């Protein structure tokens, strides 16, 4: 498996960035009629299919949502087998009362935070990277 596994190295090199745009989480019963290229992510749950997509796309499709998010990416190539990275940044954000919704993809971890907390969340993550340590 490729990617970094050492927690200290992951924290020091995570280089968080904010992706442009705003994103929402929606749920649908079926993907019929949806162009999956409009979606950033999908996940099938028992209750329905969760979509993560640009807010403008959800509006165009007439989908409902209640959470408008900013998308932050940790640009370090983290291994899917790495231990502690998610806990470290989630704990740092939680100390500042910032909720996060995480998607671990093959190369990077992606964090969705409330749009109005994006600047503060990015600063928290940058500080975590600068110190390279967590309090786990």
Structural domain total, the chain = 1
Q: Is the pLDDT of residue 102 over 70?
A: yes
Segment 49-55 mean pLDDT:
98
Segment 84-109 mean pLDDT:
96
Segment 99-114 mean pLDDT:
97
Query: In the prediction, which pLDDT does 136 show?
Result: 54
Segment 117-130 mean pLDDT:
97
Q: Is the pLDDT of residue 135 over 70?
A: no
| C-alpha distances in Å from residue 16, one per residue of 38, 59, 133 | 24, 28, 15
Residue 2 is assigned to a structural domain of this protein? no
Question: Strand runs (DSSP E) across 56-115, as ranges?
Answer: 68-74, 101-104, 109-114
Residue 98 is assigned to a structural domain of this protein? yes
CATH code of residue 57: 3.30.2130.10
Residue 1 is assigned to a structural domain of this protein? no
Mean pLDDT of all residues belonging to the chain = 95
Candidates 84, 78, 122, 83; CA nearest to 104 is 78
Q: Is the pLDDT of residue 28 over 60?
A: yes
Residue 136 is assigned to a structural domain of this protein? no
Residue 82 is assigned to a structural domain of this protein? yes
16: containing domain: 7-131
The percent of residues in the chain predicted with pLDDT above 70, rounded, is 97
Residue 93 is assigned to a structural domain of this protein? yes
Residue 52 is assigned to a structural domain of this protein? yes
Residue 75 is assigned to a structural domain of this protein? yes
């Amino acid at each position: 498996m490729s990617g970094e596994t050492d927690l200290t190295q992951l924290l020091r090199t995570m280089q968080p960035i904010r992706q442009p745009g705003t994103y929402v989480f929606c749920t649908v019963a079926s993907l019929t009629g949806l162009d999956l290229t409009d979606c950033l992510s999908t996940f099938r749950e028992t209750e329905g299919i969760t979509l993560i997509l640009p807010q403008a796309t959800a509006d165009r499709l007439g989908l409902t949502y209640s959470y408008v998010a900013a998308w932050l990416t940790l640009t370090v190539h983290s291994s899917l087998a790495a231990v502690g990275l998610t806990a470290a940044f989630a704990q740092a954000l939680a100390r500042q009362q910032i909720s996060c919704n995480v998607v671990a993809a093959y190369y990077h971890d992606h964090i969705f935070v409330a749009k109005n907390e994006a600047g503060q969340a990015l600063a928290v993550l940058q500080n975590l990277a600068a110190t390279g340590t967590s309090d786990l």
